[in-house]
Amino acid sequence: MSALRTTGRRREPRARRSEENSLRRKTLRVARLLEDYLGTPTLGVRRPAPLDMLIATILSQNTNDKNSHRAYTALRNKYPTWNTLARAPLRSIESTIRIGGMAHQKARRIKDIVRHLDQENGGVHLSELNAMRDDEVMDYLTGFKGVGAKTAACVLLFSLGRDVFPVDTHIHRICNRLGLASGVTLPEHTFEIMKPLVPAGQAYSLHTNLIRFGRRVCRANRPSCEICPLYHECVYEGKTRRRPRSTVASGTDHDFMVLDNV
Ligand code: SF4
């Protein structure tokens, strides 16, 4: 009995390792198939300052990329330095970013962050993040109200150039359908599951291509499975190749990514 138990205990971690290795290989196949299908995006050399990226990412929550880009541009035009934003009335910030939706909540959160930096940090910037480890940045940023793992991961990836893979609702949906994060209900959990699976150096490419893929092909409703390059990797029970091609979304309009344009 005790020998069996010992064998069972030894096998359990081995089985887990083998499953994780298999998911790692699958993630690599998915990354390559998407690069074949959509190209290999590369992170630009010019990177926005961490606070710019944090504010842009907060503005991108629960809205589309075009409206959040308009809101960010309006904010920058009205407050060319974040010092002036720290002293601006809440109502004025709110009306400036109205086009991005949820303006009151976003204005409150942004104002709280810049005011905190102004009063506690000795300057309205986040340049000290450059010298911090990924987990330290994550802990620090998620300490602000309204900043979750996805927002902090976007700052790490797009501003600090770290190999971190942000998971939004679209990426969460696709990872679920592909069986990389099966049965997971929250993007935050998918983020943790995907951490060891994303091949080194591929976070930006895979993140960007999954978003494009989610807009063009694997949409939340009526995914275009008939043209899907990942059809054989997909375990989604609703997948079908019987739908007429007329439902396929056209390409270029879906490729604008606000966080590449901060
Ligand atoms: S087969 Fe359909 S559901 Fe599966 S990944 Fe492709 S588009 Fe999405």
Inform me whether the pLDDT recorded for 237 exceeds 80.
yes
Which of 228, 233, 235, 237 to probe ligand 1 with, by most ligand atoms within 8 A of CB? 228
The architecture CATH gives domain 21-43+165-260: Orthogonal Bundle (1.10)
In the chain, the percentage of residues whose pLDDT exceeds 70 is: 91
Name every protein residue with a CB atom under 6 angstroms from any ligand 1 atom. 177-178, 217-218, 223-225, 228, 230-231, 234, 236, 239
What is the model's pLDDT at position 6?
46
Q: How confident is the model at residue 85 (pLDDT cuts 50, 70, 90)?
A: very high
**Residue 244: what pLDDT?**
57
Question: Which residue's alpha carbon is nearest to atom 4 within ligand 1?
Answer: 234
Q: Mean pLDDT in the chain?
A: 91
Domain chopping of the chain, boundaries: 21-43+165-260, 50-159
pLDDT at 241: 86
pLDDT in tens, 152-170: 999 999 999 999 999 999 9
pLDDT at 91 over 80: yes
Q: Which CATH superfamily is domain 50-159 in?
A: Hypothetical protein; domain 2 (1.10.340.30)
In this prediction, residue 3 has a pLDDT band, given cuts at 50, 70 and 90, of very low
Question: What pLDDT score does 243 carry?
Answer: 62
Out of 174, 175, 209, 234, mutate this one to test ligand 1's pocket (max ligand atoms within 8 Å of CB): namely 234
By most ligand atoms within 8 Å of CB, the mutation choice from 174, 216, 217, 218 for ligand 1 is 218
Q: For residue 214, report the distance from its CA to the centre of ligand 1, in Å.
A: 9
Is 9's pLDDT higher than 60?
no
72 Cα to the center of ligand 1, angstroms:
33
Q: Residue 133: its pLDDT value, please?
A: 98
5, pLDDT greater than 60: no
- Which has more pLDDT, 78 or 241? 78
Q: Look at residue 252 in the predicted model and tell me its pLDDT.
A: 52
Q: In this predicted structure, what is the pLDDT of residue 97?
A: 97
Nearest atom (ligand 1) to Cα of 234: 4
pLDDT for 177-198, tens place per residue?
A: 999 999 999 999 999 999 999 9
* Residue 236 pLDDT greater than 70, yes or no: yes
Residue whose entry in the numeric block shows the structure tokens 């679209």:
170
- d(CA 26, ligand 1 centre) in Å: 15
pLDDT per position as a tens digit, 111-140: 999 999 999 888 899 999 999 999 999 999
Determine the pLDDT at residue 68. 94
